[in-house]
């Protein structure tokens, strides 16, 4: 039986009205451990902004389709939309602090994983992809080539003989359509 794994990035949540980090360089440049350590208050404000951008965001049909088809997911996103849709996604970059942690956000690890922090779930992601075989499918949804992990996982899937489908536009419509075509 064909195994399918989805790998998601900011592009899947864009249609849930969450801006990508590429669209927000002012935020991205502050998501470094060194910045958080030196500028506690400013960093906490950035995290509050991020959290406010995501509060009220709802999963779109791409998130729901992956949950309905029970597709294992590796995500770079910190928005929690896969969980809200009913999936148990492997979150490579953690999540956001709880409301009662906002004053100490600068000191937290994996809430989210910052540039300069270890990413504890990367090894699990590599292991998931290493288990792919010829005839299996790796669906990449809304992921750029701007991070090493995004490039690495694609290359590993290819080296394992898996087919790769890229869905970079209109994920909210194209994910379900693609899954209907490949899952019969």
Q: If you ran DSSP here, which 8-state letter would residue 114 be given?
A: P
Cα first-last separation, the chain: 11
Beta bridge partners of 74: 7, 90
Q: Is residue 20 within 8 Å of 50, Cβ to Cβ?
A: no
A 10 A CB-CB count for 127 gives: 9
What does residue 42 show for φ and ψ, rounded to 5 degrees?
Answer: -65, -40
Backbone angles phi, psi at 75, to 5 degrees: -125, 145
Residue linked to tokens 């400013």: 42
Q: In angstroms, rounded to a whole number, what is the distance separating the alpha carbons of residues 71 and 182?
A: 12
- In the residue annotation, 82 being an active-site residue is answered as no
Check 63, 93, 146, 173 and give the catalytic one.
93
Cβ contact 150:66 at 8 Å: no
Query: Could you identify the residue written with the tokens 């694609």?
Result: 154
Catalytic residues: 93
């Amino acid at each position: 039986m064909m195994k399918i794994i989805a790998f998601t990035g900011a592009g899947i949540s864009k249609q849930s009205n969450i801006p990508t980090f590429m669209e927000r360089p002012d935020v991205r440049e502050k998501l470094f451990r060194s910045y958080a350590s030196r500028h506690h208050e400013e960093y906490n404000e950035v995290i509050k902004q991020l959290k406010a951008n995501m509060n009220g965001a709802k999963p779109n049909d791409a998130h729901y389709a992956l949950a309905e088809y029970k597709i294992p997911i590796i995500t770079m996103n910190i928005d929690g939309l896969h969980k809200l849709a009913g999936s148990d996604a492997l979150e490579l970059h953690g999540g956001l602090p709880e409301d009662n942690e906002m004053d100490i956000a600068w000191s937290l690890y994996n809430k989210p994983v910052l540039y300069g922090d270890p990413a504890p779930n990367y090894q699990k992601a590599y292991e998931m992809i290493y288990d792919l075989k010829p005839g299996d499918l790796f669906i990449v949804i809304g992921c750029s080539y701007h991070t090493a992990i995004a490039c690495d996982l694609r290359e590993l899937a290819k080296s394992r003989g898996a087919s790769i489908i890229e869905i970079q536009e209109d994920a909210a419509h194209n994910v379900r359509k693609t899954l209907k075509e490949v899952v019969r």
